[in-house]
Amino acid sequence: MSRLAGTTAPKLRSTLTARIDDCAADLAWTFDGSALAVASVRGPITLFATGAEDGAELPGHPGGTLSISWHPREAVLASAGRDGIVRLWRPGSDTGDEVLAEAGWAARVGRSHDGAHLAAAIGTRLYVLERATGTRQSSSKHTSTIADLAWHPSRERIATAAYGGVTV
């Protein structure tokens, strides 16, 4: 850990340790901090209520779940997987609604800060779904596979990172 002159690094401590049966690929807290979702390389998604050691398991994606993202104000989880599918998971259901399916790995999924848009990086393209109308937009091909995406905190802008560069 880096240290600045004249400052002391805070001590980190664990408050809970929970187990999953696989390597974690991604994790995300609900908007209110009441639950933590953990995506596994094998595919299942485990939901842990805050403070609980045992979680509820969703099937996730065959071949692996790569990315998850909660809606900023609702208990709706988006997931992306190696099957090229983006799903939405709602409380009380163990089947996700398929909202996007394309050829290639769905490597990343992310919500806009207002929850109006859902972005997904699948292969060399970025897809954006608008919640209110259900419309879908896609970018032109990037020069290589999109590795990550990030929404601007105050505008409807999104950045993508691919091998060799960033696009805004």
Q: What is the full DSSP assignment across 89-128?
A: E-TT-SSPEEEEE-SS-EEEEEE-TTSSEEEEEETTEEEE
For 13-32, write each residue's pLDDT tens digit. Answer: 666 677 777 888 999 999 99
Please tell me what DSSP assigns to residue 63.
T
Q: Which of 67, 107, 116 is nearest to 84 (CA)?
A: 107
For 55-74, write each residue's pLDDT tens digit. Answer: 888 999 999 999 999 999 99
pTM: 0.86
Instruction: List the 85-89 sheet strands across, edge first.
Output: 65-70, 77-81, 85-89, 97-101
Q: What is the dihedral angle through the alpha carbons of 58, 59, 63, 67, rounded to the nearest 10 degrees? A: -30
Give the pLDDT score at 71. 94
More confident residue, 131 or 40: 40
Whether the predicted pLDDT of 4 surpasses 50: no
For 120-157, write each residue's pLDDT tens digit. Answer: 999 999 999 998 888 888 888 888 889 999 999 887 88
For 93-104, write each residue's pLDDT tens digit. Answer: 888 888 888 888
